[in-house]
Amino acid sequence: MLQVSIYRYNPEVDNAPHMQEFEFDTEGKDLMVLDVLEAIKAGHDSSVTYRRSCREGVCGSDGLNINGKNGLACITPLSETVKNDKLVVRPLPGLPVIRDLVVDMSLFYAQYEKIQPFLKNNSPAPAIERLQSPEDRSQLDGLYECILCACCSTSCPSFWWNPDRFIGPAGLLQAYRFLADTRDTATDERLSKLDDPFSVFRCHGIQNCVNVCPKGLNPTKAIGHIRTMLLNRAT
Amino acid sequence: MRTISFDGVIVGGGGAGMRAALQLSQSGYKTAVISKVFPTRSHTVSAQGGITCAIASSDPNDDWRWHMYDTVKGSDYIGDQDAIEYMCSVGPEAIFELEHMGLPFSRTEEGRIYQRPFGGQSKDYGKGGQAARTCAAADRTGHALLHTLYQNNVKNETVFFNEWFAVDLVKNQDGAVTGVIAICIETGETVFVKSKATVFATGGAGRIYASTTNAHINTGDGIGMGLRAGVPVQDMEMWQFHPTGIYGAGTLVTEGCRGEGGYLVNKDGERFMERYAPNAKDLAGRDVVARSMVLEILEGRGCGEHGDHVKLKLDHLGEDVLESRLPGICELSRTFAHVDPVKEPIPVVPTCHYMMGGIPTNVNGQAITVDEQGKDHIIPGLYACGEVACVSVHGANRLGGNSLLDLVVFGRASGLFIESALREGIELRESAQSDIDVAGERLRHLNESSGGENVADLRRELQNTMQNHFGVFRRGDFMQEGIAKLAELRGRVESVSLDDKSDAFNTARIEALELQNLFEVAEATAVVAEARNESRGAHAREDFTERDDENWLCHSVYHSEGKKVSKRGVNFTPSTVETFEPQIRSY
Amino acid sequence: MVTQVTSFSRSGLSDWLIQRLTSVILLAYFICLAGILLGGVDYSAWKAMHDTTAMRIFTLLAAMSLAAHAWIGLWAVYTDYLTERMLGPRGHVIRRFCQLGTVLALVIYLLWVIQILWG
């Protein structure tokens, strides 16, 4: 029997959050954490609240804190996270809880928008595509795949303390995605907006982001590249 | 109830919705997108292999007319040729726009967009062999596309109502659509979102089946809202079963795997598609491949303990190709099939994937209704694009890579048309309070419900009925049984229980509303599938095994009132090319 | 762009560079001292060494580095933990108070070092 402990908070009835315990029979199957939540919502308590969509790890809806580590419920198998038949599911840390496992991601999205996550190129577009060599394109690998699940930023102490001023690993990964794109011509403008003591430089290289990213991306490395670009620009 | 007004409201934040929204925002009109999930969580994100379009990168002599030929043939000749012509000819422009917006396509050595072979593709009207026409960003094309569109909507300051759920359409006394009733999921507030143009881009409804590649959110909300408001739906019997869903999990493995050289094998290790489609082999139309797989399994050549699946072999492609061209597939396969495709074949089975049918529209995205005499009429105020719409470019079977092209081209076309209509001035009469009350009735009924059955149980029953009675192969008597089961289910779905009546982020309420939408889709599918007495494209009947062009070279149209089925003519008059006459379809 | 008047240089890059540069200077200074001390040195030799202009400048440089390094480091700590977000509305006042105290202490220490070196 799996002991499932779920963080519950309904602002309409609860003064404070609490953990609710469920007994769950996996019938010996190695389910994903999302399967367990779905079964609990379907069979035990329809009021258990969480986000989910694709259930295959590409939409980024179900980032949760699972047995103490941030990850996507839909691609985290029980065998990977459960020890001693105990599964503890909490919302992503550091963001306000709306209800149960659902957090308010406004601050996270605001930081993403702040880096102007769109290609800027002021030269007139050609009649066909802009050409880009496979080598130049490969600079975007490991960057564009981000699914905005927020597992990284909400595991980052610097983001916990300054979510309004530190862009956070997810936003910075995307900032570098556009800095690294040979088709983007706004490099200098982008760098100017990052050269303050908070946006980039609150990263202290803790690397929680790298440790939890469900897509295996490396925001710390991207942040290092941004620092180098800022340095090269200044000297 | 509060009223919020916009020039254009788009329901759905996937590829089609965001492409339409982008077009309208760029033109300066006050545009809002209502999306029940944050837009990048929409199901477009799961599209893998690519977007098919004759941009002449892989083959400098490629021609959109060849793409059109393939698409007409793939549709088993019930795709509208004017719409297919529009999609294939405008496609390159739409793709280049996406590239200019920043979409990180994979590249060729010349620096152009990388194109891979996909099923059903040919050169020179089927005479020049396999074409490579599907533009790709590795195997994450949908993700790259959706994020690019979201980013450009951010740039153009589109208003997003994220995590808002559209409940039902509001019409006025003239039958024109004036907006939707929507709930803010976070607060539970219900508002009337009023608009001169309401665009449905709500995506598919694969969740009517128990086994599907579709996301949990694909519940056919647009179809449900449409049918309840008296909007007809077209070709709803046409459901694509994708040949390669991962056995057990249902997650998609792109056709691009076979495009890159992978192939299917049965338990004897035989490449069985060589028998069913000697020329195209594993790259025949999806309907053909899916049926061949089911036949292999039925004839006892399936793999595994229960002999209930086949395998997709990729290991011969080598680790380098797999990791560079199909990295997402390697990841999915390891997670969901516990198989490393570099070393072993992936267990796969045909899985519900795409709804070819939907709300009938013209190439401008304007929704169409059909009267008793079979005459088309435009429904003022209502538009549809993407999977929820039936333009129809896919007919009875969609080709791989054509769905992303469909949503980009027709999302854009809807936006362009609404832009010009707004410029000329759209005059719709105001809805009366009673009209708004009518639209709010379903929600009110649900909120006041007591008793009733559990959403999850009813949903499972619905999905199993569809899976068992309306699957890859269909038979009249068995479908009638299914229809009877659905008829019995209707009342239970309408009086579904809602124990949790709270306002804050109440997903139980949303799931109940979604279940009712799923039901509408399922019933339309069932009734029309039973009516179409032939086999065409994805609709394969055991009791009518042949295509019947004399009686059924037409669209089916389902009207919710009285559950009537009528026929609608297919367009055979493209404006710049000769008509592609129906032929025997072989690969 | 987030600007903050109390940051050392108002540029994240400069702060970051100064942090690294000062740490190199401090490392060099302390390795130098450690080498001399481990090599065995009596009080008069130690004093004579510190009376040379080169050593005075080196010591002053190290002291200034320490002050800059400490200020940037503590400023980051204060703006992480002593904020309105962490402490409520009083956070702002508490942070300013601590920053003022730190500045005062660092300036006094620096003056003291100068007095010892040249006094």
Cis ω before B392 (30° cut-off from 0): yes
Q: How far is C12 from chain A (nearest CA, A)?
A: 4
* Residue C32 forms contact with A (CB below 8 Å): no
B459-480: average pLDDT: 96
**Nearest Cα to Cα of residue A5 among A60, A70, A82:** A82
Judged by CB atoms closer than 8 Å, whether chains meet at A195 and C3 is answered as no
Give the chain C residue whose CA is nearest to the CA of A165.
C2
Residue B390 has pLDDT above 90, yes or no: yes
pLDDT reported for residue C3:
52
Q: What is the pLDDT of residue A145?
A: 97
Nearest Cα residue in chain A from B102: A119
What's at A79, amino acid-wise? S
CA distance A121 to chain B (A): 8
Token representation of residue B434: 């009673």
**Span B308-315, average pLDDT:** 96
**Residue B273 pLDDT greater than 80, yes or no:** yes
Query: Smallest Cβ distance to C13: which of A158, A162, A195?
Result: A195
C101 touching A (Cβ < 8 Å)? no
Structure tokens at B17: 């919705």
Between CA B186 and CA B190 the distance in angstroms is 11
- Per-residue confidence band for A69, with pLDDT thresholds at 50, 70 and 90: very high
Q: Domain boundaries in chain A?
A: 2-103, 106-234
Q: In what order do the strands lie in the sheet with B554-559?
A: B233-234, B554-559, B564-569
Q: Where are the domains of chain C?
A: 9-118
| C-alpha span between C37 and B235 (Å, rounded) | 90
Question: Is pLDDT larger for residue B428 or for residue A139?
Answer: A139
Of B102, B140, B457, the CB nearest to A145: B140
- What pLDDT does residue A235 have? 82
Judged against a pLDDT cut of 90, whether residue B227 lies above it is answered with yes
Average pLDDT for chain A:
97
Q: What's the fold here for domain A106-234?
A: Fumarate Reductase Iron-sulfur Protein; Chain B, domain 2 (1.10.1060)
Interface test with B, best of A6, A41, A46 (most B CBs within 10 A): A46
pLDDT in tens, B53-75: 999 999 999 999 999 999 999 99
Q: Tokens standing for B81?
A: 């040729």
**B403: which 2 tokens?**
């769905």
**In chain B, pLDDT over 70 holds for what percent of residues?**
100
Per residue, what are the HEC states of chain A? Answer: CEEEEEEECCCCCCCCCEEEEEEECCCCCCCEHHHHHHHHHHHCCCCCCCCCCCCCCCCCCCEEEECCEEEEHHHCEHHHHCECCEEEEECCCCCCEEECCEECCHHHHHHHHHCCCCCCCCCCCCCCCCCCCHHHHHCCCCCCCCCCCCCCHHHCHHHHHCCCCCCHHHHHHHHHHHHCCCCCCCHHHHHHHHCCCCCCCCCCCCCHHHHHCCCCCCHHHHHHHHHHHHHHHHC
> CA-CA distance, B494 to B514, in Å (whole number)?
11
pLDDT exceeds 70 at position A181? yes
Question: Does residue B328 belong to the interface with chain A, where contact is any CB pair within 8 Å?
Answer: yes
Please identify among residues 21-50 of chain A the ones whose CB lies closer than 8 Å to any CB of chain C: none
| 8 Å CB contact between B281 and B263 | yes
Chain A contact set for B336 (CB, 8 A): 56
Q: For chain B, what percent of residues have pLDDT higher than 90?
A: 98
Name the band, by pLDDT with cuts 50, 70 and 90, for residue B168. very high
Instruction: Report how far residue B335's alpha carbon sits from residue C17's, in angstroms, rounded to the nearest whole number.
Output: 43
Looking at per-residue confidence, does B208 or C11 come out higher?
B208
Average pLDDT of chain B to the nearest whole number: 96
| Contact of B536 with B356, CB cutoff 8 Å | no
Contacts of A127 in chain B (CB under 8 A): 96
Q: Are β-strands B177-184 and B164-171 bridged in parallel, bridged antiparallel, or unpaired?
A: antiparallel
pLDDT at C1 over 90: no
Query: Model confidence over B103-116: pLDDT tens digits?
Result: 999 999 999 999 99
Q: Which residues, including other chains, have CB under 8 Å from residue B448's CB and lie 6 or more apart?
A: none
Q: Which residue of A has its CA nearest to B141?
A: A145
Whether residue A59 and residue B113 make contact (CB cut-off 8 A), yes or no, is no
> Could A42 and B335 be called an inter-chain contact, meaning their C-beta atoms sit closer than 8 Å?
no
Strands B359-360 and B389-390: parallel
Q: Which of the other chains make 3 or more beta carbon contacts under 8 angstroms with chain C?
A: A
Q: How far apart are alpha carbons B24 and B8 in whole angstroms?
A: 8
Is the predicted pLDDT of residue C119 greater than 90, yes or no?
Answer: no
Is pLDDT at C6 greater than 80 in this prediction? no
Nearest C-alpha neighbor of B153 from the set B31, B41, B7, B9:
B31
Distance CA B48, CA B254 (A): 6
Mean pLDDT on B110-125:
96
Tell me the CATH number of domain A2-103, given options 3.10.20.30, 3.10.310.10, 3.40.50.1820, 3.40.50.1970. 3.10.20.30
Q: How far apart are CA C73 and CA B458, in angstroms?
A: 60
Cβ–Cβ < 8 Å for B140, B110: no
Q: What is the pLDDT of residues A194-229, one digit of tens each?
A: 999 999 999 999 999 999 999 999 999 999 999 999
Query: What pLDDT band is residue C5 in, cutting at 50, 70 and 90?
Result: low
Q: Which two tokens stand for residue B154?
A: 């951010």
Please report where in the chains the tokens 């400048």 appear, as a residue.
C57
Using CB atoms, pick whichever of A162, A202, A231 lies closest to residue C13. Answer: A231
Alpha carbon of residue B210 to chain centroid: 17
pLDDT score for C7: 65
Residue of A nearest to C1 (CA): A193
Phi first, then psi, for residue B119 (nearest 5°) are -60, 145
pLDDT at residue C9, as a whole number: 66
Between chains, do B504 and A98 touch, taking CB under 8 Å as contact? yes
pLDDT at C8: 67
pLDDT bin (cut points 50, 70, 90) of residue B300 is: very high
* N residues, chain C: 119
Q: Find out if CATH 3.40.50.2300 is the number for domain C9-118.
A: no
Query: What distance in Å separates residue A189's CA from the closest CA in chain B?
Result: 16
Contact C2 A198 (CB under 8 A): yes
Cβ <8 Å between B106 and A134: yes
CA distance C71 to chain A (A): 13
Q: Indicate which residues of B carry an active-site annotation.
A: 286
| β-pairing verdict for B177-184 and B190-200 | antiparallel
Instruction: Say what percent of chain C tops pLDDT 90.
Output: 82
Cβ within 8 Å, pair A99-B505: yes
Provide the pLDDT confidence category of residue B370 given band limits of 50, 70 and 90. Answer: very high
